[in-house]
Copies of this chain bind each other. A is one copy, B any other.
Amino acid sequence: MHTPEPTAGSGRRLAHPEREEIRLETVLHALADPIRLRIAGELADGHTEMACIAFELPVSKSTCTHHFRVLREAGVIRQHYEGTARMSRLREDDLEALFPGLLSAVLEAYRRSHRPV
């Protein structure tokens, strides 16, 4: 096997769960971390699509990679490459279909808790 992978699309492969594979506990766990909740919050508020670097998170690059992977594997975000940048967006349609009102309630709660009143 000298031709390991066709390297389809933009070159790098990203594993996403299918809609039916998304589990409630996993989604809640993904959103229970402050860094990841903030990522979801920023994706929801204005920046529907963002590269990882644009978040300016208070953690190292590799920790950042880790958190985006947790969100992606939980089914909270969808990622694809654009050049060297990995763009992320919320899977609002899938989550809404599976767990109606859940994501929007979390995001609204996030706004209330983390923004000055």
Least Cβ–Cβ distance between A23 and chain B, in angstroms: 7
A28 close to chain B: CB less than 8 A? yes
Interface flags for A20-37 (1: CB within 8 Å of B; 0: not) read 000111101101111001
Residues of B within 8 A of A98 (CB): 109, 112
Q: Name the interface size band of chain A.
A: 20 to 34
A110 to B25 CA separation, bound complex (whole angstroms): 9
Least Cβ–Cβ distance between A38 and chain B, in angstroms: 10
Residues of B within 8 A of A32 (CB): 25-26, 28-29, 32
Residues of B within 8 A of A105 (CB): 99-102, 105
Interface flags for A23-61 (1: CB within 8 Å of B; 0: not) read 111101101111001000000000000000000000000
Q: A-B pairs with the 3 shortest C-beta distances?
A: A99-B109, A28-B32, A29-B32
List A residues at the B interface (Cβ < 8 Å). 23-26, 28-29, 31-34, 37, 98-102, 104-106, 108-110, 112-113
